[in-house]
Amino acid sequence: MKIKVRIPGTCGELVQGRIKGKNSHITCPVEILSSVSVQLTGFYGQIECRPDKVKTRQAVRRTLELLGHTSTGVKVSISSQIPVGKGMASSTADIVGGCLATAKALGESVTPRMIADIAISIEPTDGIMYEGIVCFDHLGGEIIRSLGDPPPIDILVVDPGGNIDTLRFNSKREVSAAIHRKNEDFILEALNLVEEGIKKRDIQLVGKGATLSALSNQEILYKRELADIISISASLGGIGVNVAHSGTVIGILLPPDFSEIQLLKKRIKERCGNHMLFYQTRLIGGGKY
């Protein structure tokens, strides 16, 4: 029997930084999904998986080891809508899907914390294995706290091109840690605004906090289009922006009744260039779908 699970990608993070020595980010899961299927086979201990999905293969093997099924053979299939190398959690979604589908195929279960431990042993990871919106330590794999269900926010993901290797980016932690220490007050304010916004379902507060975090991250990973996109989106009724703090994409946070999406795209292309790509989506909770 083939087991399939669907896991959301992200539009970066709503907030990311370092507070009181702890790495923190607030997840931004979006309705752009990775579908991962796992089927048990008769091939002793073999894992069949696409050669470019090394991290997923590692996650499946570690799940088998954790659950005591190292002799079991599995076939893994992945069909993903999530762009790679943009800061949209493409590999994390595949890893989470691989863990969940493998466990389910075996008739076993794994907790979000178990999945987080497996994921963090492979690479810095997003907290999308947890339901809802969470504050998560992407380097330690620890959930700091659950913030609740996502408020109604549509997102226009803007991709200016290029890609970033997450492992290579995170190897420069000492430089980013010094900047995070300098900006800690701004990050704490951003985190408090987004937390309050989610609790009260006040999307304006979420947008304000996300924008503050995006601007604070410019010293770590500069996005030359950010100021223009903030200005354009605000002029048309956007509630704020967020970014992939270790990726390329910028998210424009919009009220669910926003009706100027084509004009928004047009003005961004006029100001930032015709090479800009867009993905229309919405904020959702983490977990499986």
Q: Read out DSSP for 117-157?
A: HHHHTTS---STTSSBEEEE-TTT--EEEEEESPPS-EEEE
**CATH code of the domain covering residue 241:** 3.30.70.890
The predicted-structure confidence for 110-136, as pLDDT tens digits, reads as follows 999 999 999 999 999 999 999 999 999
Residue tagged 């492992």 (tokens): 167
The predicted-structure confidence for 274-283, as pLDDT tens digits, reads as follows 999 999 999 9
For residue 104, the model assigns a pLDDT of: 98
> Which residues, 6+ apart, have CB-to-CB distance to 187 below 8 Å?
15, 16, 17, 18, 19, 24, 180, 213, 216
CA–CA distance, 53 with 170 (Å, rounded to integer): 20
CA–CA distance, 99 with 109 (Å, rounded to integer): 9
The token duo for 151 is 């408020």
The token duo for 194 is 């987004």
Asked whether residue 289 is domain-assigned, the answer is no
For residue 182, the model assigns a pLDDT of: 76
Contact 217, 243 (CB under 8 A): yes
For residue 163, the model assigns a pLDDT of: 80
What integer best gives the mean pLDDT of the chain?
94
Nearest Cα neighbor of 76 from 65, 95, 116 is: 95
Does residue 15 share a domain with residue 141? yes
For residue 42, the model assigns a pLDDT of: 85
Asked whether residue 287 is domain-assigned, the answer is no
Residue after which a domain boundary falls, among 89, 114, 145? 145
Does residue 139 share a domain with residue 162? no
Does residue 117 share a domain with residue 138? yes
| Distances, alpha carbon 199 to alpha carbons 61, 140, 176, 203, 251, in Å | 38, 25, 30, 10, 21
**CATH code of the domain covering residue 63:** 3.30.230.10
Does residue 14 share a domain with residue 140? yes
The predicted-structure confidence for 86-116, as pLDDT tens digits, reads as follows 999 999 999 999 999 999 999 999 999 999 9
pLDDT at 166 over 70: no
Percent of the chain with pLDDT over 70: 95
Domain coverage including residue 92: 2-145
pLDDT at 171 over 60: no
- The residue type found at 199 is K
Does residue 46 share a domain with residue 24? yes
